[in-house]
Every structure is written in C-alpha cells, then in structure tokens.
Amino acid sequence: MNQILNRNGFYYGISIDMNDGNHLQTAKTPPDRPEILAPAGGKKAFLAALAAGADAVYCGLKNFSARMAAENFSIDELARLTRLAHDRGVKVYVPLNTLVKSDELLQAGRLMDQLNRWVKPDALIVQDLALLSLAGQTGFSGEIHLSTLANVTFPDALKLVAGFPQIRRVVLPRELNIDEIKTLSENCPPGLSLEVFVHGALCYAVSGRCYWSSYMGGKSGLRGRCVQPCRRIYEQAGQKNRYFSCQDLWIDVLTKIVAQVPNIASLKIEGRKKGPHYVYYSVSAYRLLRDHSDDPKAKKTALGFLDYALGRKGTHYNFLPQRPQNPIDTTLQTGSGLLVGSVKGDRKAPFLIPQEALHANDMLRIGYEDDAWHSTFRVTKYVPKRGRLVLKLAGQRKPQNNVPVFLVDRRESGLENELGEFEKQLEMITHSTSGESAFKVRLPANAKRKPFFQEMTVTRGDQGSQHPAHSKKEEQVGVWLSPDTPKMAVPDLGRFWCWLPPVVWPVDQDSLKSLVKKMADKGCVNFVLNSPWQRAFFPQDKRLNLWAGPFCNIANELAIARLAELHFKGVIVSPELGRQDYAGLPARSPLPLGIIVSGSFPLCVSRILSKELKPAMPFSSPRGEQAFARQYGSDFWVFPNWQVDLTQKRDALKKAGYQLFVQLVEPLPKNVQMKDRPGAWNWDVGLQ
C-alpha cells in the first residue's frame, strides 16, 4: 500500500490534482451523479464518512435496526451528528428496518416521533409496512426509503410502491445484474428513485428471505440479530467447508456503468459493523471511481484504497450477466477483515508473521466466529511486514497452528487527527432532546368478519397422494405455481389455491404474470402472494381472494391494515413469531389470519449455490443439524431435515382466532431422512 499513502501513512482531505497520483476529492457531487452513501455503526465511523466526503450517511439507533450488533446511536448523539452533517451538506438516513411485533408499535412510533422532532433525518429506511402508517401518524417530515429487506425485485412492483406517496426510494437487492437494474430503472415511476449496493458483505440468502438464524433460537436476521450460520463450516459426503460463506461485493471499476443508469440516486456501501478505517477508504475509493472513472491513475488509487479498507476478497457477483461470478469460493478465506497471516508456533507461545506492516492500536481477529479459539487482539506497537508478533492471549482461547488472522480495524495517526478535528466541531454543537414522546398509536379497528375455519395442504403439485385430485373434500388445496399448474386436473377450483414464489426476478416477471392469467382464466380466484408487491399482477376484481403469504413477514396489525388497503382478503402471519406474539394478533387484526402449523419451511432462499455443494443431498453442521438444497425456478431453497410442528398448539391457536391452518409438504430427496425433533420454532423462546 505504500505507493498510495502519503508520508503520514494516510491520505486525507487532499484536493484532486490530475497531474499527480493523489486522486482524492473534496469537491461537491455533480448534480447528475448518484450520491455515495456511507455506513456508520458508531460515532467515529460517522465522522470518517464526513472526512472522506460522503454525500449521505446511514446509521441506526439502539432499537429497530437491522444491524443490532453495531454500536449504533442514542437520539441525543444522532441529533448532534446530524446537525454536523447537515452543516456540511451531507444527508442522514436512519434505518428502522426490522420486522416489528404488535407490542412494539408504540415504542417504534415514539422513536419515530423523537427522530422527527429532535434529529430531523432526511429519510427513514424501512421494511415493515407498519412504519408507513407510523410515519403518517407522527407527521414525519423526511422521505421513506424501502429497505432491500422489503424485497422489491421486479419492475411491476415499482408501480405499486409508487402508490404510497411517502416512499421516495427503493433499495434494490444485491443479486441483480446490470441489465436487470436497467430494466427496473426504465420502469421506475416519476417521484421514485433507486439505490444500488456497490460494496460490502454479501448475505448468502436473498434479503428478507432468510430464516436460518431465527430457526436456531429466535435471533432473526429480519430483526437485525443474525448469528450468521451461513458463515459456518458444514459437511457433505465427508467433505467439510464453508459452503455458504460469500466474498464481499465489489463493483469497483464497474461503478461507471451503474452511475450512468437513470433513476439511480444512490451508490450504497454496506458496513455498519465496520470501523472508521473501512468507511474512510471505501468512501474515498468510490468517489474516485464515480468521478474519475476514465483516469487510469484514479482507478489504480481507488482499487488500492479498497484493498486497504480491510474487507474480504471481492467479487462482481451477478453484475455482469455475460460473466456472472459465484461469490462462494471455498479456496478463499472469507472471514471479515484483511487476511494478514496465520498463527505459527505451538499453543503455549503462538505468534504471527504479518504479511502487512501492523501499527499500534490495530485490531486483529483470530479465526472465525464459530471457532472455539475465536478472539480479538489489539496490537500495542509497530510490527514491520514479515516481522514477528507474539500473541499473548488470555484464558483458554489458544488457537491451533495455521488459524487465519485478519486485520479488522486500523487507527492511523492521520485519520485519528482528522477525526479529532471533527470531534472538536461536534463538541461545539448543542442540541436539546429533552422530554419523552407522548405519541399514541392509532390502531386499526378489528373488522367484523364472518366466522370460518379451514385447513390447507400446500404441495409442489406432483406428489402422488398429495395431488389436488386426491385431497379431502373439506380441505383447501394449495400448489406452488409453476408452468405445470395450468395443466393440472383440479376437481374443485373453489378450494384450490395458487401459491406464488417468495422471490420474483425481472427475468421471471412476464412468465409469472402469464401463469397467473392462465389460472385466473381457468377460474381460479384463490391466490397466496409471498410479497405484497405481487399484488401488481392482479386486477382490481372483487371476486379474487388474495392472501398475503408467510414470506410477506407480517407480524402486526398496522402492517395488516396496509395490506387491506391493497385489497388483500387475509394474511398468513410470519412463521418466526413466538407464543405471546401469536396469541393476541387475531383479535387486533382487520383481516382473517392464517398460520403454518406444520411442514417444511426453508431456512432460506438464495439465487446461488456453491459449485462444490450437491443439491438434493444432505449436509450437516458440527452440531449435527442437517439440511438440503433444492432448486425451484431461478432459486435454491435450503430446507432443514425437521419440520415446523405446532400441531399440539392447534386448540390454543384456534381459540386465539386463527381461521386458516396451513401444512407445507415438501418432497424429500432420496438420501434425506426427516429427524424427529421439536418443531415449535420460536414458540417458546420468542422472537428476539
């Protein structure tokens, strides 16, 4: 990195001089270019974003943030930082982007009220439709941006989103290629803009479609508490590897392409759990790549910054459709941070020969988080490249030989000095946030509805005795919609339901619309939609019986009321909820509710699978948890080898007011055997 560092070992605040190699920037963003949106999980990372010249910063609070493991901010601290940012012409966005339970609506509303009165962020980033109602009730004055967790993935969805005047931007999923991004841009209605991820960690699963962490004990990714089970080691056919651990997304030199797409308002850098070093260098790099993409020296400097930002190895992922890259490479280390070497010596006296020079206060991470010896280590003095650093580790966490060591944070003196100047400016800002919010939530009325009770079995449509023709006369029949569905012999369309997939990509939109029309022309009126935005595929027809499916992740009555406005007739609630969450929701709901009482629900849905992992074959974790992957359409579904089972709770659920019980039947591969284990999911532990 020495060729891109100045004499302080750090580039900061240098204006662009195209006649030398120093291509940093302090100029304002040209009006025809998208903003650079920086992450901030703590105060120093926020100040680093300002120092690097970010156009906007997104940062979460202590609650309702999809990165609860980050340091995050108090209202008072965020108010002062926002004032500092606004004084410099930098926007601030606050993610309240978690799934919200009924008993949290008041807290969420009061938090939004406090933000509106004391912080005045430029936008809130949300996934839960209830937040749209709370924004209206509190009179929130900023914009609403739909999180990538809201799963807006196909062009027609944008037309439906535009019907909510509060929503001004949609954050697109990382899985899209540039052609798909352009298609969404071409279909973006006036008044709506798009945000695209250009850098940072990749989840294995499609955002909003991962339940893996929640399955393992209530810590839901939709609630910002993911324990990252996809980063762990799994075994298949005697081979152990990290089959689901992705490289980071690096759009890098391709930034010029996406920056020229109309309606792209923001280039987003992921990393709210990262330190100020990462934020500074990644922001600096993408400003260069956006503003000086035709200059070879600028691109070289930018790529050097990205190498130096302490992230994982990068991949363009699906960005170029003619050259897609599978982000799972089991030959690479995918621990967070820059790989600087591995542990040497014996366990009594371990040491490191670093591949990069280490500075005082550098933070090292030893091993992966699922390793028994995982720990962090603060460097106390300068260690030259290929020098020797003795690892004095406390307790029993003595790593084995050759365990990887990652540099996860760095505090150069130059950066620390600049952040110190911003700290002084921050100390001069006084901001009153006294007083508690007295906001009260206006909840929807519980509509009077005709009492009924139904049971439904949902299949793939080609499962022998589970075929609709063989179902019980009193039972509702559900089938996942596929090209074969219109060919099926259905004896009673009145009790036949078509289930739409949990993800619809741009390439799938027209074919799915065609299938929906064919089934409607055939006389089918019952459909389960697994994204609210799939409502765009249906006309305003009172005969249609549209229900929101479990992948809509609905957990509160305000979100249900929003679905009622879209003419949904019922909702199958989130399968992640706990006993107390389930108990009171039907009595407060403006629509009839259903619930999954048994069957196979996926750990996650993904657009990729490791080339080394065979589908339809079991793989297992070190704890003996077994699962398998199946491909349906464009996506891979990962299923555990045990089922959701709330059958012992049926009486309690029926008494609570649930009117539709759903069983999901998944065909098992030949080599997979279901395990008899409790399937209550979060019933007892609760959704955290």
> Three-class SS string for 106-157?
HHHHHHHHHHHHHHCCCEEEECCCHHHHHHHHHCCCCEEEECHHHCCCCHHH
**CA angle (156 as vertex; 38, 144 as ends), nearest 5:** 35
Q: What is the pLDDT of residues 416-444, one digit of tens each?
A: 999 999 999 999 998 766 678 899 999 99
Task: Please give the average per-residue pLDDT across 246-269, as a whole number.
Answer: 97
The C-alpha angle with vertex 663 and arms to 659 and 665, in degrees rounded to 5, equals 160
pLDDT in tens, 91-110: 999 999 999 999 999 999 99
DSSP 361: T
Q: What is the DSSP string of 590-646?
A: SS-EEEEEEE---SEEES---TTSPTTS-EE-TT--EEEEEEETTEEEEEESS-EE-
Look over the chain and give the mean of its residue pLDDT values, rounded to a whole number: 90
Contact yes or no for 278/311 (Cβ under 8 A): yes
Amino acid identity, position 113 = D
Q: DSSP letter for 383, please.
A: B
Q: Which residue has the higher pLDDT, 662 or 60?
A: 662
Which pLDDT belongs to residue 12?
36
**Domains of the chain, each with CATH number or no CATH:** 2-202+247-310 (3.20.20.120), 338-409 (2.40.30), 454-600+643-664 (3.20.20.60)
Model confidence over 212-245: pLDDT tens digits? 999 988 899 999 889 999 999 999 999 999 999 9
Q: What confidence score (pLDDT) does residue 577 get?
A: 96
pLDDT at 251: 97
Q: What mean pLDDT do residues 123-142 have?
A: 96
Give the pLDDT band (50/70/90) at residue 4: very low
Q: Which residue has the higher pLDDT, 553 or 349?
A: 553
pLDDT at residue 138 tops 60: yes
Task: Say how far apart CA 520 and CA 496 lie, in whole Å.
Answer: 12
Amino acid 5: pLDDT = 41
Mean pLDDT of 646-662: 96
541, HSE (Cβ side, Cα atoms, 13 Å): 17
Give the pLDDT confidence of 373-388 residue by residue, as tens digits: 888 899 999 999 999 9
pTM over 0.75: yes
> Residues for the chain: how many in total?
688
Q: How far, rounded to the nearest angstrom, does the alpha carbon of residue 259 sit from its chain's CA centroid?
A: 22
